[in-house]
Amino acid sequence: MLNRSLGELSRGLRNGDFSSVELTRFFLDRIENRGAELNAFISVTAERALDDAHAADRKLRDGGAHPLTGIPYAHKDLFCTEGVATTCGSAMLADFVSPYDAAVSERLNAAGMVMLGKTNMDEFAMGSSNENSFYGAVRNPWDAARVPGGSSGGSAAAVAARLAPCATGTDTGGSIRQPASLCGVTGVKPTYGRVSRYGMVAFASSLDQAGVLAAGAGDCALVLQAIAGFDPRDSTSMDEPVPDYTPPADANIRGLRVGLPREYFGADLDPAIGAVIEQAVAALRQLGCETVEVSLPAMSLSAPAYYILAPAECSSNLARYDGVRYGHRCDAPADCDDLYTRTRAEGFGAEVKRRVLVGTYVLSSGYYDAYYLKAQKARRRIRDDFARAFERADVLVGPASPTTAFRLGEKAGDPVTMYLSDVYTIAVNLAGLPAITLPAGVAGGLPVGMQMIAPHFREQDLFRAGHCYQRETDWHRRMPEGFE
C-alpha cells in the first residue's frame, strides 16, 4: 500500500483489490500509530472519513466514480471545511468551525476523495519550519530532531511518512516547495489564479496559491486536475482552460530547454546540495534536455521585496480578527480598544505579531513610498527577469532550499536567517509562476529537492518533466527509516 501511486490505488479500488474503507482504515491506523510522534495532524476526522469511504465504495460499485474516488488525503488546516475545525495553526481560530467549504475542499469532496484529517502548519502559514504553530512543532520523519520545513510542514511530513498518500498545501513564498524538499516528497505550486482561493484563510492574497504534495509528480498531477479551474467566487481566479496534466506513460522531454539561473547556483548554496542538483541536471540531459545558462539579475531583491509585501498584505488581511465577528475573543473587555488589543495579543503568536507590525509600518503614510511602492517595483523587475529567461528556456531548474532540514530551534531565534530559507522559492510567487519540487537525492542522509519553474499556466510541462525524471530515478519512492 505504502509505495503505490495514486493511479495504482485508483486501479486497485476499481478492480476491487481493496475497498476505500480498507484503504482509509489502513491510513487511519498509521496515523494512530505514528501520527503523534510527528505531530503532523491538528485534527483526525476518522468517523467522517469512514463514512465518506463507504459512500465512495458505493460510487465505485454503482458507477459514476471519478479517478480519485475513494482515495484518502490530508488537508492543510487552512482550507475551510464545513463542520470540521479550521484552525490555521492559530489560537485565534482554535474554536473556529467554518459554515462552508473552501473551493478546494468542495472539489475534493465532489471527486469523492476521503479526508483523513487536517494537517499542522505554521500559524497563518507564516514560517519556514513549522515551529510557529499554536499546536506545537512538526517533526521531520527523516530525523525527529529536525524541522519538516514550513508552512505546509504537517502535510509534507504526513506524506513523507506515508500517513496519507497525498495532501493539500498552500504556497505564498515557498510553503509547498520548501517542506517538500526537506521531507523528500514532490510538491507543486500552480500558477497564481489556477486554483480558487475561495475559503482559503488569507495570508497575502496576491501571493497565496493552493497546491498538492504527494510522493510523485503523477500523483500531484491527478490531484491538481481535480482542484484547478475557474471559480467566479475568487476575483483573481483565471478563466483559462485546464489541460490534461497526466503525461502519457511514454512521454519524453527530448529537446526541452532547461535554463539554469546563475543566481540559483551562487556562493550561498551548500556545495552538497549543489552537487545533488548538478547530478539531477545531468539526468535531465541524459533524457535529452538541452541546458542553457540564464540570469535573473533582480533575484537578490526577492527576499527583501517579499518580506515587505507579504507582511503588508497580512496586516490588512488579519485585521478581521477583532474579537467581534469570529475567532478568539478576550474575556470581559472593558471597552472596544481593550477588546481589540487583548483579543489580538492573546490570539496571535509572536511571528504573526511581527508580520502585522512590519506590515502596518511599511503601509503607513510616510513609509509607503519608501518600502511598499519600492517593493512593488522590485516585484515587477523580478517578473520581467523571468519573462526574459523564458525566451531562452522552457523550464528553469535550481534547488528548492539552500539547506537540508535544519534542527528544531536552530533558526527559531533569528527571523532573518529563517526568512532566508525561502531565497529560492519566493521569486516564483512574486512572479505568479508555477513550480514543482522533485526529490533529487540526499545530502548528509537528508532529502534534497530540485525545483523546476515554468511559465504561467505551463504546469503540464512540469508534470511531464517530473514524470520522465521520476521514471528514471527512485528518490521519490524512498521512505524515511522506520516508516517503510
**By the criterion CB under 6 A, which residues form the site for ligand GLN?**
125-128, 151, 171-175, 203, 310, 422
Outline where 16-112 has alpha helix (H): 20-38, 46-62, 103-110
Enzyme catalytic residues = 76, 151, 175
Cβ-based nearer residue to ligand GLN, 281 or 382:
382
Cβ-based nearer residue to ligand GLN, 135 or 475:
135
* 3-class DSSP state of 420: helix
Cβ-based nearer residue to ligand GLN, 313 or 459:
313
Closest distance of CB 459 from ligand GLN, Å: 18
Rounded to 5 degrees, φ, ψ at 260 are -110, 100
Rounded-to-integer distance, Cα 349 and Cα 127, Å: 12
Neighbouring residues of 332: CB distance < 8 A, sequence distance ≥ 6: none
Cβ-based nearer residue to ligand GLN, 114 or 433:
433
Q: What is the DSSP string of 210-224?
A: EEEEESSHHHHHHHH
Cβ-based nearer residue to ligand GLN, 50 or 420:
420
For cell 465532489, the residue is 110
CA angle 387, 392, 393 (to 5 degrees): 85
Neighbouring residues of 15: CB distance < 8 A, sequence distance ≥ 6: none
Closest among 383, 399, 386, 389 to 437, alpha carbons compared: 399
Q: Are strands 186-189 and 435-443 parallel, antiparallel or unpaired?
A: antiparallel
Residue 109 is classified by DSSP as H
Cβ-based nearer residue to ligand GLN, 203 or 386:
203
Rounded-to-integer distance, Cα 484 and Cα 482, Å: 6
Cβ-based nearer residue to ligand GLN, 422 or 461:
422
Which residue type sits at 228? A
Closest distance of CB 423 from ligand GLN, Å: 11
Is the Cα dihedral 197, 89, 105, 220 positive or negative? positive
Rounded-to-integer distance, Cα 385 and Cα 299, Å: 8
Closest distance of CB 205 from ligand GLN, Å: 12
Facing residues of 188 across strands? 212, 436
Closest distance of CB 37 from ligand GLN, Å: 24
Closest distance of CB 207 from ligand GLN, Å: 8
Closest distance of CB 392 from ligand GLN, Å: 28
Cβ-based nearer residue to ligand GLN, 355 or 467:
355
* C-beta separation of 448 from 440 below 8 A: yes
Closest distance of CB 126 from ligand GLN, Å: 5
Rounded-to-integer distance, Cα 392 and Cα 390, Å: 5
Neighbouring residues of 336: CB distance < 8 A, sequence distance ≥ 6: none
- H or E stretch at 267: none
Neighbouring residues of 225: CB distance < 8 A, sequence distance ≥ 6: 242, 244, 245, 246
Q: How far is CA 166 from the centre of its chain?
A: 12
